[in-house]
Amino acid sequence: MTESIALLGYGRFGRALSGLLLDAGVRHRVFEPRQDGVPAELKAATLAEAVDGAGLVVLAMPVSAMHAVLEALRPHLSPTQVVLDVGSVKVRPVQVLASVLGRDIPWAGTHPLFGPASLARGDLPRRTVVCPNELHPEAVRRARALFEHIGCEVTELSPDAHDALMARTHVLTFFLAHGLLKAEAGKDLPFAPPSFQPVARLEEYARLEVPHLFGVVQSENPYARDARERLLDALTQLHQACDTKSPDALESISAPPGLADVRERVDALDHELVQLLERRARLIEQAAHLKAGHGLPLPDAEREARLLATRRQWAAEQGLDADATEDVFRAVLRFSRRAVPARSR
């Protein structure tokens, strides 16, 4: 990759991204006025110096700071450059980019779904979301190229689709993790069972890895409140079901969404199957009386063989397992043999 990068911000994510750029051999300069940790060979003294000659300008800063930085940056940008944000939410940053840069300076919203902790663990695949941009499709292409160059799988999502998805993942994960912190889950325990380990990891995640993201994803994501309310409603229902001490109520409330409806439809279908078996038994009883009157064998092995072969063919036509279907109809035949004398008594 020949484009050089201006990296504006050297906090937790800025440092992580800088490390990836160095590993990939991507030239970049860093501007971070509030930190002394920028290596001398990467440090730019001013915004103007950082973006001078850079093909891509990456805003690695809080969403709340973006508008002011873009206003200060705007006079130093040219239409040959592309500005990217890397925030954990997308609706608000894209609005800010559009309002300040508009059609004049190419821009794209992105969200790298990794950070210092996941990089340290070596988590793979490394993913990044890039938002489509009808005003600047070339900016989207160049953003994809950057993240693919540093080893990311890139997915395109609209800002709204991204934030709706993150509300069901990021938002609820952080919300639960901080709730566990406030509830002092696992604090001062002499030991904990293995089942508690995922809870302990989630609590540690909130305490050590992402405390700075909690406020961002809760306040800046337009779908966050609705996601939290749905979770709280579900927890309230579960809490009330636990008080009933009813196993059926607990099983119902803890089942995945939609499972109860599917189970009801399965029960209704099984009821129809039982009714069909009863109708089949009546027909077999009629056949038995007719055969008895004419001295014909019951059961008829040749007839049953043809029947099973036909059912196997029907199963294949429906994309079903022919062997499994034959097993079912062999069971139906056994049922019919037992049903005939029972109904005749």
Give the integer Cα–Cα distance in Å for 229 and 177.
Answer: 16
Contact of 168 with 227, CB cutoff 8 Å: yes
Structural domain boundaries of the chain?
Answer: 5-157, 163-252, 259-339
The answer to whether the 5-157 and 259-339 domains have the same CATH topology is: no
CA distances from 293 to 7, 193, 202, 281, 299 (A): 94, 71, 75, 18, 14
* pLDDT surpasses 50 at 342: no
Give the integer Cα–Cα distance in Å for 196 and 160.
Answer: 35
Predicted confidence band of residue 345 (pLDDT cuts 50, 70, 90): very low
Residue range 184-197: mean pLDDT, rounded: 86
Domain 259-339 in this protein, CATH class: mainly alpha
Percent of the chain with pLDDT over 70: 94
* pLDDT surpasses 90 at 293: no
- The pLDDT score that the predictor gives to residue 254 is 61
Predicted confidence band of residue 169 (pLDDT cuts 50, 70, 90): very high
Predicted confidence band of residue 248 (pLDDT cuts 50, 70, 90): low
CA distances from 233 to 170, 214, 226, 238, 253 (A): 18, 21, 11, 9, 11
Nearest CA among 175, 172, 195, 173 for reference residue 183: 175
* pLDDT surpasses 50 at 31: yes
pLDDT: which is higher, 332 or 258: 332
- The pLDDT score that the predictor gives to residue 209 is 61
**CATH of region 5-157:** 3.40.50.720
User: Which segment, 136-140, 215-219, 230-234, 291-295, is predicted with the most confidence on average?
Assistant: 136-140
Contact of 13 with 35, CB cutoff 8 Å: no
Non-local CB neighbours of 86 within 8 Å, separated by 6+ positions? 13, 17, 58, 59, 60, 110, 111, 112
Residue range 11-24: mean pLDDT, rounded: 95
* pLDDT surpasses 90 at 160: yes
- The pLDDT score that the predictor gives to residue 97 is 98
pTM score above 0.85:
no
Is residue 268 within a helix (H) or strand (E), and if so which, with residue range? helix 259-294
101-142 pLDDT, tens digit per residue, is: 999 999 999 999 998 888 888 999 999 999 999 999 999 999
* pLDDT surpasses 70 at 167: yes
* pLDDT surpasses 50 at 343: no
